[in-house]
Amino acid sequence: MSGPRPVKAPTGSKLTCANWQIEAPYRMLQNNLDPAVAERPDDLVVYGGTGRAARSWDAYDAMLRTMTALKPDETMLVQSGKPVGVFRTHEWAPRVLLANSNLVGDWATWDEFRRLEDLGLTMYGQMTAGSWIYIGTQGILQGTYECFAEIARRKFGNTLAGTITLTGGLGGMGGAQPLAITMNDGVALCVDVDAWRVNRRVETRYLDVVATSLGDAVAQCLAAKKERRRLSVGLVANAADVFPKLLAMGFPADIVTDQTSAHDPLSYVPNDVSEEAAKNLLATNPAEYIRRSRLAMAEQCAAMVGFMDAGAEVFDYGNSLRREAQLSGYDRAFDYPGFLPAYIRPQFCEGRGPFRWVALSGDPADIAATDAAALEEFPDDEGLAKWIHLAKERVAFQGLPARICWLGYGERHRLGLRFNEMVKKGQLKAPIVIGRDHLDSGSVASPYRETESMIDGSDAIADWPLLNALVNTASGATWVSIHHGGGVGIGRSIHAGMVAVADGTDLAAEKLARVLVTDPGMGVIRHADAGYDRAIEVADQRGVRLPMREAQA
Residues 470-498 have pLDDT tens digits of: 999 999 999 999 999 887 888 889 999 99
Residue 32 binned pLDDT confidence (cut-offs 50, 70, 90): very high
Do residues 508 and 91 lie in contact, with contact meaning Cβ atoms separated by under 8 Å? Answer: no
Q: Rounded to an integer, what distance in angstroms lies between the CA atom of residue 174 and that of residue 439?
A: 14
The proportion of the chain whose per-residue pLDDT surpasses 90, expressed as a percent, equals 85
Task: Please give the helix or strand (H or E) that residue 445 lies within, else none.
Answer: strand 444-445
DSSP 314: E
Do residues 231 and 190 lie in contact, with contact meaning Cβ atoms separated by under 8 Å? Answer: no
The proportion of the chain whose per-residue pLDDT surpasses 70, expressed as a percent, equals 100
Work out the angle at residue 233's Cα, subtended by the Cα atoms of residues 160 and 229, and round it to the nearest 5 degrees.
40
Average pLDDT on 336-363 reads 94
Residue 399's region, left for phi above 0, alpha for psi from -120 to 50, else beta, is left
pLDDT at residue 347 is higher than 70:
yes
Report the chain's terminal Cα–Cα distance, integer Å. 63
pLDDT at residue 313 is higher than 90:
yes
Average pLDDT on 24-45 reads 96
Dihedral over alpha carbons 152, 158, 164, 167 (to 10 degrees) = 20
- Residue 317 in domain: yes
- Residue 522 in domain: no
Number of domains in the chain: 1
Catalytic entry in 147, 301, 349, 405: 405
SS3 content of the chain, % helix, strand, coil (to 5): 45, 15, 40
Residue 553 binned pLDDT confidence (cut-offs 50, 70, 90): low
Which domain CATH number covers 234? 3.40.50.10730
Q: What does the DSSP assignment read for 246-293?
A: HHHTT---SEE---SSTTSTTTSPPSSS-HHHHHHHHHH-HHHHHHHH
Residue 46 binned pLDDT confidence (cut-offs 50, 70, 90): very high
Name the amino acid, one letter, at 209: V
Backbone angles phi, psi at 265, to 5 degrees: -60, -15
pLDDT at residue 449 in the model: 86
pLDDT at residue 467 in the model: 98
- Residue 162 in domain: yes
- Residue 291 in domain: yes
- Residue 272 in domain: yes
- Residue 379 in domain: no
Which region among 157-161, 247-251, 323-327, 341-345 has the lowest average model confidence (pLDDT)?
341-345
Answer yes or no: 405 catalytic: yes
pLDDT at residue 285 in the model: 94
Q: Tens of pLDDT along 351-368?
A: 999 999 999 999 999 999
- Residue 42 in domain: no
Higher pLDDT among residues 489 and 33, named by residue: 33
Q: Tens of pLDDT along 79-129?
A: 999 999 999 999 999 999 999 999 999 999 999 999 999 999 999 999 899
Work out the angle at residue 303's Cα, subtended by the Cα atoms of residues 297 and 305, and round it to the nearest 5 degrees.
105
**pTM of the entire structure?**
0.88
Average pLDDT over all residues of the chain: 95
Q: Rounded to an integer, what distance in angstroms lies between the CA atom of residue 290 and that of residue 311?
A: 31
Q: Tens of pLDDT along 258-268?
A: 999 888 888 89
pLDDT at residue 142 in the model: 85
Q: Tens of pLDDT along 136-163?
A: 888 888 889 989 999 999 999 999 999 9
- Residue 260 in domain: yes
pLDDT at residue 365 in the model: 98
State how far the alpha carbon of 494 is from the alpha carbons of 36, 140, 414, 442, 446, in Å: 28, 19, 28, 11, 7
pLDDT at residue 436 in the model: 94
pLDDT at residue 394 is higher than 90:
no
Report the side by side order of strands in the sheet with 187-192: 209-210, 231-236, 187-192, 164-168, 255-256, 313-314
Name the residue range of residue 286's domain.
138-343
pLDDT at residue 1 is higher than 70:
no
